[in-house]
Amino acid sequence: MRSGAHDMKVFGAGALAALASRRNALAFFQGHRHVYSTMEGHLDTAAQSHNDPTGALWRRVRSLRRGEALERDVAELGGSLAEAPSPATQRYVDQLDAAAASPLPLLISHFYVRYFADLFGGSMLGKPTRAALNTCSGVQFSGTPAFYVHDAAVTTDRRAYIEDLYRSVNAAGEAAHLDAAGTKALVTEAEVAFALNAELYREAAPAGTGLAGLFGLAIVGGARVAGGLAMQSISRAPV
């Protein structure tokens, strides 16, 4: 995080760009569905071994699972679960497959990057996402998109849950008996995961427009959030 591996400008703009249209939102949810389904499939496999520190971590916190929630959101937006991954998504999936095949517990790095993002910034995106997307033609979320909804084990005391999760991640690393090189490999893998996430967000920009295109879509998405929240406020106002 301190090294700059997590580019907040790209992540912020990408989150808003995903709300610019139904098409953008569907691409966002589809990409994340492929990533989470792949990662959680590998975590499920690891959990079958009682000697795998990554598996022990996952057995404790399976309530964080997001794959099925993303499937529901894709269906809500009219997408197909048979759709192939985009190029950026495929690169991410390939990296997850390689991490799972490594003798080092590199999946811990991917776990860290994705689930802590969900618990921090992602936890605040549910209501704005619903408000924005419900201004798009053909979209009507009756509740918060499932990707942003966690069960009571997480939400009852989110701060305590996050602190306990930090301890669980550290315990998994300690159980792996990593030497200095192994620890560095996990840090490097986390930096790779941040970069792959940024690629997913950048992919929303029209071809050849780069960051300018992404920021342009972010403006549209921000306007949809403002308009959607205003509509919700008006609809709740007493007559």
Q: Tally the residues of the chain.
A: 239
Is the pTM higher than 0.85? Answer: yes
Terminal Cα distance for the chain, rounded: 48
Structure tokens at 95: 């990296």
| Cα–Cα distance, 16 to 100 (Å, whole number) | 31
Is 213 part of any domain?
Answer: no
Is 1 part of any domain?
Answer: no
| Cα–Cα distance, 223 to 221 (Å, whole number) | 5
Residue of 213, 196, 215 lying closest to 85 (CA atoms): 196
| Cα–Cα distance, 74 to 71 (Å, whole number) | 5
Is 59 part of any domain?
Answer: yes
Q: What is the CATH number of the domain that holds 80?
A: 1.20.910.10
The confidence score (pLDDT) of residue 239 equals 47
Is 210 part of any domain?
Answer: no
Tokens 């959990």 belong to: 47
Residues ≥6 apart with Cβ < 8 Å to 50: 56
Kindly tell me the burial class for residue 181, based on how many C-beta atoms sit within 10 Å of its own C-beta (0-12, 13-18, 19 or more): exposed
Is 129 part of any domain?
Answer: no
Residue of 122, 120, 126, 125 lying closest to 159 (CA atoms): 120
Residue of 39, 81, 85, 97 lying closest to 64 (CA atoms): 39
Tokens 């499932």 belong to: 146
| Cα–Cα distance, 111 to 178 (Å, whole number) | 17
Indicate the number of domains in the chain: 1
Mean pLDDT split into 10-residue runs, the chain, 239 residues: 71 93 95 98 94 93 94 94 96 98 96 92 85 88 90 89 94 93 95 94 89 94 94 70
Tell me the one-letter amino acid at 93.
Answer: V
Structure tokens at 202: 């950048």
Is 42 part of any domain?
Answer: yes
The confidence score (pLDDT) of residue 233 equals 79
Residue of 112, 86, 89, 133 lying closest to 189 (CA atoms): 112
Give the domain extent around 96: 8-14+22-124+146-200
Is 32 part of any domain?
Answer: yes
Residues ≥6 apart with Cβ < 8 Å to 115: 61, 64, 165
| Cα–Cα distance, 34 to 94 (Å, whole number) | 11
| Cα–Cα distance, 171 to 165 (Å, whole number) | 10
Distances (CA, A) of 132 to 103, 230, 231: 43, 10, 10
